[in-house]
Amino acid sequence: MRFQLGRTIFKIIVLSCLASATTQCADRATSVQKQFPGVCAKDLGVGNNTSVWMVGCGKANESGDFYLFTWNGSKWDMIPGFGSDIAVEPNGTPWITNSNGQIYKGKGKNEWEQVAGCARDIAVGNNSVWVLGCKQAGANDFEIFSRQGSQWNRVEGAAARIAVEPNGTPWIVNSSGQIYKRSGDSWQQVSGCAKDIGVGDNGLAWILGCKPVGAGGFEILSRQGSKWTKLPGAATGIAVEPNGTPWVISIEGKVFRL
């Protein structure tokens, strides 16, 4: 993470029924929350339902890095290092970025290997790593890079958030909320407006929409065909398993699996 790992690598998933008053939603939230007690998350990354990593709420320094945790099946274990964002490969390997833009790849549970480059956000699929670089391209967007071997290749466009399908196909959201999916050598716009995005196999996409809900959260939507379907609740971040199952972080920093 500055050797203080961390910052935007696993795009956190944040979904919560706390903003909904329905009995069904409340019962669901209570049931799910029992699986992940005692947690406060800033960002979240999932490789599958047994490989879950998070950037916690506890400050590790004044630069904007936080302590890291992984789920062991019954509780969160603190992991050496710290960062600001996290992402996880489908095989469970975590990647992180820190407040200085440094990038790290996990080597086992307690070791990190620094990777050349500078990133503000990161997303990973099978042997496919994409980042938003540290150089701004516009007022609130950043350059986009794809990792080829040991090199970062600049890709046209700019974005504020990025996610990658397990097959390596990237999706981006820009600071205006516009959504794009990579198709061949170009970006194809997808309808909708998003603040954050997560994707699974076969383009199973979830977003936090642009409409505020509650005290600081945003509406949660899943893509069904060519349309977005709204779910009860609100969240501040979101991540998606390879099979399409979303995980979210509530306005209060609690972790939920839908």
Least confident of 5-14, 96-105, 166-175, 192-201: 5-14
Rounded to an integer, what distance in angstroms lies between the CA atom of residue 59 and that of residue 152? 30
Q: Please, is 119 exposed, middle or buried when counting C-beta atoms within 10 Å of its C-beta (0-12, 13-18, 19+)?
A: buried
| pLDDT per residue as tens digits for the range 130-175 | 999 999 998 899 999 999 999 999 999 999 999 999 999 999 999 9
pLDDT of residue 39: 72
Provide mean pLDDT across the span 200-217.
94
Write down how long the chain is.
Answer: 258
pLDDT of residue 44: 95
pTM score of the predicted model = 0.85
Q: Which residue has the tokens 């890291």?
A: 68
- 214 versus 211: which is more confidently predicted? 211
Q: Is the pLDDT reported for residue 18 higher than 60?
A: no
pLDDT of residue 211: 95
Could you tell me the pLDDT band of residue 15, with boundaries at 50, 70 and 90? very low
- The three-state secondary structure class of 28 is helix
230 near 12, Cβ under 8 Å?
no
| Arithmetic mean of pLDDT over the chain | 86
- 75 versus 210: which is more confidently predicted? 210
